[in-house]
Amino acid sequence: MDLVARWAELLRAEATLPEHETEVIEAALVSDTLTALAAGGAEREAILIAFRESEGTDEALRHALGTVLFPPFPRAVLHPDEYRSHPEVAFDADRMPVGVALGLPVAEDLVETGSDPLDFARSWFCGRPAVPGDVSGWEWPTRSDGAPLTHVVQVDLASEVLNQGEDHFALTGLPGDGVIQLFHDLETFGWDTTDDTTAWHVAWHPIPAGEEVDLEVAEGGPLDAVPAFPINPQLLATVPSPLDLTDASDEEWTRFERARQWLEQSAYEMNLMADDHRGRLTPWDDDYEPLPPISRMGGFGHAETNKELLDVLDQQLPLTGDDDHVLLFDVNPLAITETDALINWFHGRRHLEVWMRRSDLDSRRFDHVWCVIRTDN
């Protein structure tokens, strides 16, 4: 009996089998399936075909094969070496470093234009920000010439500690309380070291643990007619862009790309407020079309971390000792919304990256950041 048939047989019989017997059979099947994936050839192709085609009445089989075909993304967070050793990844730590990020997928299907965003979320893209306490003393961030900055995203960090668990969330290095917000003028590229640093602004409003502080939505600002789009953040293990993979064979590039796409897709699928993506094609399908790369906090950006970027960061955020540069935000407008009003965000919907020193992140100095609009992605 081939592997796919053995999996189908287990699924049919598991309701009548003792739990310990089911576990023994499943463990043997997982081991044999991983061996077949590593060997390649006809057995691997048979598994892929069954995974692609076992939809509808065979959804249980598809799910079972999928859990073995590629390691679940939380494993990349907690056990990165085990994740990398999977035959469908097959990279070492130098070739595929894994960074932990807070994935920021969108659930705009719940938004009612004109509604108070606090009615449906505490984290969102666009719209107006929410300020802890009395909003009357809060001033909208402006550029040095007085132009108001656009609110890009806010994330309620305290909620994410509860959603992710303290141990998982701590891996991001982000504060575990309060609300963090990003504003930008949507114009300044950040590649010129003489660019005006007031073209962007990161605000962190800490809320000490145990304190009950209500949020109040601020008034005014540009793009005021654009509604907020709620976020259901998910902890996501991200990998560098394949552009960082030098001197790679076609097989390595394909494997690397598939790993990244699977992690990106997982963030959408785990976003329980968003559309159901389980019926989509997967990175193993020839006709697969990736979802827009998610926005994220931390981890690795989607675009290549190239020498030009590193030179800018070294000049604007000089390092001492064993300090290094870390990504705070990577915002992809394509993953936010198709709203016409945002068509030209970041010069044709290019990624916006916010960088800071690790030492500044550790000391929560969010006024020391540098932003770039990625013209090379």
In the chain, where are the structural domains located? Answer: 1-69, 100-236+292-373
pLDDT at position 343 is: 61
Amino acid in position 99: G
221: left (phi over 0), alpha (psi -120 to 50) or beta: left
Tokens representing 39 are 């060997």
Query: Taking the CA atoms of the chain, what radius of gyration do you get in angstroms?
Result: 22
Distance CA 284, CA 39 (A): 17
Q: Which residues contact 228 (CB under 8 A, 6 or more apart)?
A: 111, 117, 121, 124, 125, 126, 127, 128
pLDDT at position 34 is: 95
CA 213 from centre of chain: 28
Strand partners, 58: none
What does pTM read for this prediction?
0.91
pLDDT at position 323 is: 97
pLDDT at position 46 is: 92
Q: Whose CA is closest to 234, among 77, 50, 129?
A: 77
pLDDT at position 263 is: 87
- Nearest-5° angle of CA 335, CA 336, CA 339? 120
Distance separating the N- and C-terminal Cα atoms of the chain: 47
Q: Which residues contact 271 (CB under 8 A, 6 or more apart)?
A: 105, 106, 107, 232, 234
Kindly provide the residue ranges of all beta strands, DSSP E only, lying in the chain, ordered along the sequence. 99-104, 124-125, 130-132, 150-156, 179-184, 200-205, 215-217, 229-230, 234-238, 295-298, 325-331, 352-357, 370-373
Q: Whose CA is closest to 74, among 226, 310, 283, 262?
A: 262
**Matching CATH number, 100-236+292-373, of 2.60.120, 2.120.10, 2.60.40, 2.30.320:** 2.30.320
- Nearest-5° angle of CA 71, CA 263, CA 126? 150
- Nearest-5° angle of CA 255, CA 164, CA 81? 35
Distance CA 184, CA 371 (A): 9
Mean pLDDT per 10-residue segment, the chain (377 residues)? 91 91 95 94 92 77 89 85 92 88 84 75 90 82 93 92 89 94 94 93 86 82 76 86 77 88 85 66 87 92 90 96 96 80 72 97 96 84
Q: Whose CA is closest to 174, among 304, 372, 360, 309?
A: 360
